[in-house]
Chain A
Amino acid sequence: MPEPGPPGFPARVIDLADALRKEGMAVGTSELLDAFDALGHVSWTEQRDFKEALAATIAKSQEDRRVFDLVFDRFFFRAVEKEAVERGLIDQRFEGGDRLDMEELRERIREVVRQGSDGEMRDSARLAIAAFGRQGEGSGVIGVDVQRIRRSLDLKGESPNPGREPDPDSVPQDRLREFERHLRRELERGLIERTQSLPPAKPLSEFDRALPSGPLQDLAAVHRTVMLLKRRLATQGHEARGRKKGAVVDVRRTMRASLETGGVPVALRYRPKRPRRPELYVLCDVSTSVTSASVFFLSVLHALHDAFRKLRLFVFVERIAEVTDIFERERSFKEISHAIATEPGVADVSGYTDYGRVWLEFHDQIVDELDPRSTVIILGDARTNGREPQARAFARVSEHAGRTFWLNPEPKLYWNYGDSVMRAYEPFCDGVFECWTTKQLEQFVNALTDPHAVPPAVR
């Protein structure tokens, strides 16, 4: 029988639940009752068992678990212990010569990063923060602090370049990343202690974060978000391929099945719904006004291109250029974006988008290949710099295509202001979407691959 905790402990657990609710987690009374039930079976003095039992009954997803860990640590983390660690180190620092201890610390931490266990890495992270975290003022932004501490520790990752002689002081890249993760967590923990509140949620895990506004540096961030999106959409594709009951009874199969029951149709058989695998023709504006959005959209397309039966990609500024083969050839998205950026023939003299000319060219080159199964997607802001919008050419294109979608990376409020001519193109589109957050992009992709959508009436 596990020993009960000190009096007043249940109240502490309820306080913990309140704190979790404040951070947005839904903790109901039934879950609290389950938690107390579970606590009745574990020893309250084993921190790990205690925490796991609470987590199993209260935190019901990965995201919840992350919040739970942070709040739990804030509640039960022993600040005294932490202080002792720091104070011990600071004394050491002033005892012998400064430089010597620093070097020793650096070497020790390097060893731990190379081969240490998880717990050792965590302790080293705390040491490193105690040693370097307070020098000068912490910038308050955790990412910057992590990098600064890493530099002070003189930790280098191994060069990915195979030709070069490996640096004896460097450490494996994945271990370095693991250590940086520990640093991050410990810094966050320290921040919680100081400010008594949780830091804002890490931006990469939020799905309605706005698209990155800087170009290629954020490519990594874009890539990570795309990977998350891809996992979700890939499994949704599988859902669509399922055996959902259609609405149409397949008479032949029903009659055949009725033979088993003496001619009486007891079980109805339905005609299966086939998922929609569209053929895509994508025109993407790559002028500077939409660069980040187009990068994002292209990376999404790249990640999903095996979900489409056919994908032909055109980029344009003043003229169009087909870049389908670059997409298929290059595997890494970085190479693709580089190749597209340097593709000749896209930007002409002035470098300003001319939508009218684009439609005319597209109409001439491609329109014969469009059929009712094709979907045309245009990503652009419809800012045509005062030139003729050529809405009629666009109308003819959208007539030939089965569906036409427009993705505008500007918020809807800005449409039709200035040189934006969305008004001219909107009537010919089957759907017009804003796409300046990842969530909107996700909605668009759902609309695109939805097998239950009613096919457009033949025009």
Chain B
Amino acid sequence: MAADLATVESTRDALAAVGYLADESASLVSYLAAQLGKPVLVEGPAGVGKTELAKALARATERKLVRLQCYEGLDEAKALYEWNYRKQLLRIQTEKGDAAWDEVQGDIFGPEFLLTRPLLQAIAAEEPVVLLIDEIDKTDQEFEAMLLEVLSDFQISIPEMGVVEASSMPLVLLTSNNSRELTEALKRRCLYLWLDYPTVERELEIVHLHTPDLDEHVARRLVEVVHMVRGLDLKKPPSIAESIDWARALMLLGADDIDEAVLKRTMSIIVKHRTDLDVVAERAGVKLTDGLIGRSQTG
């Protein structure tokens, strides 16, 4: 049953029902995006759930998710559409000698020779979709300009075939890792959402959602340790996905507490750089033997 994003509360509940715990701003912006038909620009540190939000929205509204993964050098051919040159050439070569050009032209510029890429797929789809444009900060300004054109009018003109208009409004999400400034025009077009690392309570809920069988005490210790690690000066702070992985690992190992030994064994699940491992081993290992993390809870 597709959820109807009619109010902020129902949006939040719909997202929670498919396993994504959104905070107030995320649910509000998703609700506004659905009502106003504007794209959403989601920024935040790596691993906080930006892509996951798009997937959750797709699941909640029972729409297909069309994903365009951006990278440096992405151009129109890979994002919009491309003619299948090879097929067309082969087709021409099999043509009989006296065939009229009009016939051939009508043939080779037909839909079976058109390779539709994500943006065109999203627009030409009969049912409304969720379009996720991931990591848009990896592309360049020319791509953004082209994207802007597509997003403003929701139509694509293919010279040989005519204009393809959107029959339904897709729900568009753009994610960015903040590695460069996006153009003003694109930002102006979108609603802005900043997703940050969650609070201890919220992360505890998320861990519960994904590993309901994990002991309450262990889960709380886990979340507190992860928060402490994020406060350290690391190259790559642990993301939410890594907390969930760690929770699963602890459940598999059957750990009933997080002491120094367990931490040292499983630390590489949340910390992924050699230098970071050293920093965390030093600081966190020491803290745990003193029991200071536990103290703040019970004291």
Knowing A31-B188, A227-B233, the reply to whether A56 touches B28 (Cβ < 8 A) is yes
In the bound complex, how far is the Cα of B29 from the Cα of A20, in angstroms? 21
Q: Which of B89-147 contact A (CB under 8 A)?
A: 89-90, 93, 138
In the bound complex, how far is the Cα of B157 from the Cα of A239, in angstroms? 31
Asked if A312 is an interface residue, CB under 8 A from chain B, the answer is: no
Q: From DSSP, what is the main secondary structure of chain B's interface residues?
A: helix
Asked if B160 is an interface residue, CB under 8 A from chain A, the answer is: no
Q: Which of B219-268 contact A (CB under 8 A)?
A: 227-228, 231, 233
Knowing A42-B28, A114-B296, A331-B275, the reply to whether A60 touches B8 (Cβ < 8 A) is no
Asked if A59 is an interface residue, CB under 8 A from chain B, the answer is: yes
The residue of chain A having its C-beta at the shortest distance from the C-beta of B77 within the complex is A267
Asked if A343 is an interface residue, CB under 8 A from chain B, the answer is: no
In the bound complex, how far is the Cα of B192 from the Cα of A59, in angstroms? 7
Q: Is the Cβ of A242 less than 8 Å from the Cβ of B8?
A: no
Q: Which of A244-291 contact B (CB under 8 A)?
A: 244-245, 260-262, 264, 266-267
B28 cross-chain contacts in A, Cβ below 8 A = 42, 49, 52-53, 56
In the bound complex, how far is the Cα of B35 from the Cα of A417, in angstroms? 66
Q: Is the Cβ of A245 less than 8 Å from the Cβ of B89?
A: no
Q: Is the Cβ of B292 less than 8 Å from the Cβ of A158?
A: yes
Least distance between A326 CB and chain B CB atoms (Å): 16
Q: Is the Cβ of B292 less than 8 Å from the Cβ of A60?
A: no
Q: Is the Cβ of B275 less than 8 Å from the Cβ of A60?
A: no
In the bound complex, how far is the Cα of B275 from the Cα of A232, in angstroms? 20
Q: Is the Cβ of A56 less than 8 Å from the Cβ of B191?
A: yes
Asked if A152 is an interface residue, CB under 8 A from chain B, the answer is: no
Q: Is the Cβ of A235 less than 8 Å from the Cβ of B177?
A: yes
In the bound complex, how far is the Cα of B290 from the Cα of A299, in angstroms? 32
A48 cross-chain contacts in B, Cβ below 8 A = 24
Q: Is the Cβ of A244 less than 8 Å from the Cβ of B72?
A: yes
Q: Is the Cβ of B86 less than 8 Å from the Cβ of A52?
A: no
The residue of chain B having its C-beta at the shortest distance from the C-beta of A227 within the complex is B233
Q: Is the Cβ of A238 less than 8 Å from the Cβ of B191?
A: no
Asked if A365 is an interface residue, CB under 8 A from chain B, the answer is: no
Q: Is the Cβ of A162 less than 8 Å from the Cβ of B187?
A: no
From A8-16, A33-41, A349-357, A426-434, give the one contacting chain B. A33-41
A-B contacts, CB under 8 A, total: 104
Q: Is the Cβ of A42 less than 8 Å from the Cβ of B8?
A: yes
Report which of B32, B138, B184, B227 forms a contact with A41, defined as CB distance below 8 A.
B32
Q: From DSSP, what is the main secondary structure of chain A's interface residues?
A: helix
In the bound complex, how far is the Cα of B227 from the Cα of A395, in angstroms? 53
Q: Is the Cβ of A242 less than 8 Å from the Cβ of B36?
A: no
In the complex, per-residue mask of B177-193: 1 if CB is within 8 Å of any chain A CB, else 0? 10110001001101111
Asked if A92 is an interface residue, CB under 8 A from chain B, the answer is: no
Q: Which of B34-63 contact A (CB under 8 A)?
A: 35-36, 38, 41, 43
B89 cross-chain contacts in A, Cβ below 8 A = 261-262, 264, 266
Report which of A59, A243, A331 forms a contact with B71, defined as CB distance below 8 A.
A243
In the bound complex, how far is the Cα of B33 from the Cα of A52, in angstroms? 13
Least distance between B231 CB and chain A CB atoms (Å): 5
The residue of chain B having its C-beta at the shortest distance from the C-beta of A178 within the complex is B231
Q: Is the Cβ of A261 less than 8 Å from the Cβ of B86?
A: yes
Asked if A166 is an interface residue, CB under 8 A from chain B, the answer is: yes
A262 cross-chain contacts in B, Cβ below 8 A = 89-90, 93
In the bound complex, how far is the Cα of B287 from the Cα of A245, in angstroms? 50
Knowing A28-B188, A53-B28, the reply to whether A162 touches B73 (Cβ < 8 A) is no
In the complex, per-residue mask of A183-206: 1 if CB is within 8 Å of any chain B CB, else 0? 000000000000000000000000
Q: Can you list 9 pairs linking A and B with CB atoms under 8 Å apart?
A: A26-B184, A28-B188, A49-B24, A60-B192, A61-B187, A166-B290, A174-B227, A238-B179, A264-B89
Residues of chain A whose beta carbon lies under 8 Å from any beta carbon of chain B: 26, 28, 30-31, 34, 37-38, 41-42, 48-49, 52-53, 55-57, 59-62, 65, 114-115, 118, 158, 162, 166, 172, 174, 227, 232, 235-236, 238-239, 242-245, 260-262, 264, 266-267, 331
Additional pairs, 9, CB under 8 Å, beyond known A31-B188, A56-B191, A172-B292: A28-B188, A30-B188, A52-B24, A60-B192, A62-B194, A162-B287, A174-B227, A243-B72, A244-B72
